[in-house]
Amino acid sequence: MDGRMVSGSCFKVLKILKRTSCLYHVLLVGSVMGFFFPILSLLSRLSANDGQYLNKLVELVGFGELLGYLSHFPSWHVGEGIAFPYDLYARWSAYGLISICSLCLFRKKIEPFLDKFESYLIGNKKIHILMLFAVFVYQSKIFAGWWFHGIAGWDFSKWESKINAGAEKPNGFSPAYLKSAINWENFSLLTSTQKTPYTISGNALIAFTEDNRTIPINLGLLEIVFPDRFMESPQTFLELINYKIPMIRDYQSLYPEHTPFARIDYSEFNGSKISKVEYWDLNLSSDGSVHEISSARINQVFSR
């Protein structure tokens, strides 16, 4: 009897789906995949690297015996770093579940709108297929090579402005060469958008050549995504800088910068080796007419 009821329910669902539009089918299938795939990826990550992620979760929430079964889940994340945006994947999955519920509960209200929308495009087969594909990619979060939701967790939701109201009084000594690390023209442009006085905080990297000349640099010189990770090793950081400087001029003329750093002309190095790099924390203040370094603190020194 139960089997008949299940078969009858499945037949009824299929009969309803048969009457719905292609767009509705794509939305529903994409939403189902968008709900399940992030969950599978989370389970895969938890089972990876001999359960080190799983052990952290057990330490956090308990339920060791129950969660221990996840260690047998097939993993495709072996060898990756421990950082993982669980909250982002959870939001993706929640969006998929909400979409499924909305499509099922409000089908009669949604379907006429989808039919009308699809009727405008169905005359052009190529555009119709492209639209269905785009909707499917968005709902399922599948990486199709041309539409990507971004690196998981790489967003600016917790970003805070570096500009504060009020001018900071000059505090302490700052070497003259620090002024070369600041684009004063860009800093002056802020006065047209900010209420004066204001103070902006930032960082500066000053490189010292073997003959003790100084020149400002930035991490765009390394032309690597997330270049600050190499600052953990002073020796590696200096070696990368000295490796890139001789070839950076030709590279910049052929290919735009990948990383979001200001373009700097490094021709002044003339093949000189870098022996030291200073990493400074700066505060710049302006009252609308006078711009100055109000405070400077050396954060780190990289030397051989």
CA proximity to 184, closest of 292, 25, 44, 105: 292
CB 70 within 8 A of CB 46: yes
First to last CA, the chain: 80
In single-letter form, the type of residue at position 38 comes to P
CA proximity to 234, closest of 272, 273, 205, 276: 276
In single-letter form, the type of residue at position 288 comes to G
Judging by DSSP bridges, how do beta strands 291-303 and 274-286 pair with one another?
antiparallel
**How far, in Å, CA of 153 to CA of 125, rounded?**
36
Instruction: For residue 240, give Cα distances in angstroms to 93, 201, 214, 243.
Output: 40, 27, 18, 5
Angle made by CA atoms 259, 262, 265, in degrees to the nearest 5? 110
Structure tokens at 259: 């990383």
**How far, in Å, CA of 221 to CA of 233, rounded?**
17
Judging by DSSP bridges, how do beta strands 274-286 and 198-209 pair with one another?
antiparallel
The reported pLDDT for the residue numbered 180 is 83
What tens-digit pLDDT sequence spans the chain (304 residues)?
A: 454 554 444 445 445 555 567 888 889 999 998 888 888 777 777 766 666 666 666 666 666 666 666 666 665 555 455 455 667 778 888 999 999 999 889 888 888 888 888 887 777 888 888 888 888 888 887 766 555 555 545 556 677 878 888 888 877 778 888 888 888 888 887 777 788 888 888 899 999 988 888 889 888 888 787 888 889 889 999 999 888 887 776 666 655 555 678 778 777 776 678 899 999 999 888 887 788 888 889 999 998 7
Per residue, the 3-state secondary structure of 74-132, as one string, reads: CCCCCCCCCCCCHHHHHHHHHHHHHHHHHHHHCHHHHHHHHHHHHHHHCCCHHHHHHHH
Instruction: For residue 219, give Cα distances in angstroms to 96, 226, 227, 276.
Output: 38, 9, 6, 15
